Amino acid sequence: MRLTAIEEGHLRNGMPGTIGIVGLFPADDPPFDLAWLRARVRERWGGLERMSLALRPPAGPAAFSGHRWAARPFDPAAHIATDDRDLRTLLTDAVSRPLPEDRPLWRLLVTERATERGERAVVLLAHHALLDGRSLETLFRLLMDDAAPPRPPAAPGAEPRRRPVRPATVGRELRVIGARGRALPASPAGEYAPSVAVVRLDAPVMRAARRQPEAGRGATLNELLLSSFAGALRARYGPLRAWPAGPVPFFGTVPVDLRGRHDAQRLGNGVTALRIPLPVDLDSPVARLRVCQEEVAAFDHRCDAHRAILPPLLATARAMPWLAEVMARRLARPELTTSLCTAFKWRDNPSRLHGRTLARVVPLPQLATPGTANLCLVHCADTYTLTVVSHLRDGDAGLIGGAVARELAAVAACEAPAARAAREVRAR
């Protein structure tokens, strides 16, 4: 079975392509039994065709012949293992090297004392060509004790009818896709190194930030992440006029799932990417948030444009694998895709795995080309966790994560005096 153009692009963009999702469980719970976990994986994933697909190299010249998927017998023992590394080290190593191609491109690792609190971790890793972030979330949910079995895909023709897309809308979106933006300011002497930071955010601060702006509808996780990242960039590098490259915007890229209710649990790659200029030049946290809310409000119409653009483009690229590679390497350039910013909520609470309560979910974005940083924010129960994967100077992921946390606190503190006084009275 031939790979789609998107899958082929993830293989040919020159990067390792590993993404992941982590479940953290309390330190005082008993260790996971590996034999039980392998049995659970066989029970829940064994019937999913995607999890048995291994790569076959192109049959001819790579420019004219694409990779293929080949089905292998489902063997959890080959994929599930224990690991004694701490979580940050494990994740940094994971994004820095590709998964072995002699088996389907996923692994499930169990590590004791993954964090300073002694939490246990179950880590699902996969190549982005095989699975996207929403697929990882779907698979992880299927492992939980009370998970519902996956719904069968809807019959052909059951998809909802889409509103027509105006040519002008498509034209605007094509201009945004190809617009040149800024990379993050270069490291001195080209000293680039992958780094990963996992930042546990303060839950009361996040709840207060989500109530912003005052008298508005409140803020989504995506809007908060985009605006706080803009503020973190301003705090770290100054306003855009102080950056190199002249009057060019800095774009954040938001992956948006194109699946609908009829195929919500379909595994593979079902997302597109929307670029928005981040308001780095604004000095007010709430002003930055309002701008990001306006940008996010346009996502539905922009996704309609992508649904019109993608089918003919991907059909052409699939017929000419060299074109898929050209597109993938172009989009991987830091001036085009500098920072992927993703946020989601784990909606099944409480979730348990073999009776152990899921305490936190940690996402793992992929490592991109030098000069980039990717961020993902997850809300699980009453915890908020931010992961930063940077390809800048060693340790820059932690600096960016700390700056984003401070910007979120600044958003949360922007209450009007009357609202703040009322809250303090209630707290007494």
Residues in Cβ contact with 269 at an 8 Å cutoff, skipping those fewer than 6 apart: 4, 6, 7, 10, 128, 129, 131, 132, 135
Polymer length of the chain: 428
Residue 243: count of CB within 10 angstroms of its CB? 17
Given a cut of 50, whether residue 333 has pLDDT beyond it is yes
Q: Quick one: pLDDT at residue 424?
A: 45
pLDDT band at 158 (very low <50, low <70, confident <90, very high): low
Residue 418 buriedness (CB in 10 A; 0-12 / 13-18 / 19+): exposed
Q: Got the DSSP string for 90-101? A: HHHHHHHSPPPT
- For the chain, give percent helix, strand, coil, nearest 5: 40, 20, 40
pLDDT band at 278 (very low <50, low <70, confident <90, very high): very high
Q: Are 107 and 99 in contact (CB under 8 A)?
A: yes
Overall average pLDDT of the 49-78 stretch: 89
The CA-based dihedral angle spanning residues 183, 333, 298, 346, taken in that order and rounded to the nearest 10 degrees: -90
**What whole-number distance in Å separates Cα of residue 393 and Cα of residue 48?**
40
**What whole-number distance in Å separates Cα of residue 97 and Cα of residue 161?**
42
> Average pLDDT, whole number, for the chain?
90
Q: Name which residue leads in pLDDT, 164 or 180.
A: 180
Q: Are 345 and 221 in contact (CB under 8 A)?
A: yes
Q: Are 410 and 404 in contact (CB under 8 A)?
A: no
Residues in Cβ contact with 240 at an 8 Å cutoff, skipping those fewer than 6 apart: 182, 247, 248, 249, 250, 280, 281
Residue 246 buriedness (CB in 10 A; 0-12 / 13-18 / 19+): exposed
Given a cut of 50, whether residue 334 has pLDDT beyond it is yes
What pLDDT, in 10s, does the model give residues 2-25?
889 899 999 999 999 999 999 999
Strands 271-277 and 251-257: antiparallel
Overall average pLDDT of the 306-313 stretch: 89
What pLDDT, in 10s, does the model give residues 188-211?
767 899 999 999 999 999 999 999
pLDDT band at 425 (very low <50, low <70, confident <90, very high): very low
Which of 37, 38, 15 has the alpha carbon at shortest distance from 127? 15
Q: Quick one: pLDDT at residue 421?
A: 45
Overall average pLDDT of the 137-145 stretch: 96
Q: Name which residue leads in pLDDT, 167 or 192.
A: 192
Q: Got the DSSP string for 3-35? A: PPHHHHHHHHSSS--EEEEEEEE-TTSPPPPHH
pLDDT band at 153 (very low <50, low <70, confident <90, very high): low
Q: Are 51 and 138 in contact (CB under 8 A)?
A: no
Residues in Cβ contact with 385 at an 8 Å cutoff, skipping those fewer than 6 apart: 198, 199, 200, 201, 360, 361, 362, 363, 377, 378
Overall average pLDDT of the 339-345 stretch: 96
pLDDT-wise least confident of 80-84, 108-112, 301-305, 377-381:
301-305
Overall average pLDDT of the 103-109 stretch: 96
Q: At 332, list the tokens.
A: 């991987």
Overall average pLDDT of the 138-148 stretch: 93
Q: What pTM did the predictor assign? A: 0.92
Q: Name which residue leads in pLDDT, 261 or 125.
A: 125
Q: At 177, list the tokens.
A: 């896709």
Tokens 């102080």, located at residue: 242
Q: Name which residue leads in pLDDT, 409 or 328.
A: 409
Given a cut of 50, whether residue 62 has pLDDT beyond it is yes
Give strand pairing partners of 364. Answer: 20
Residues in Cβ contact with 312 at an 8 Å cutoff, skipping those fewer than 6 apart: none
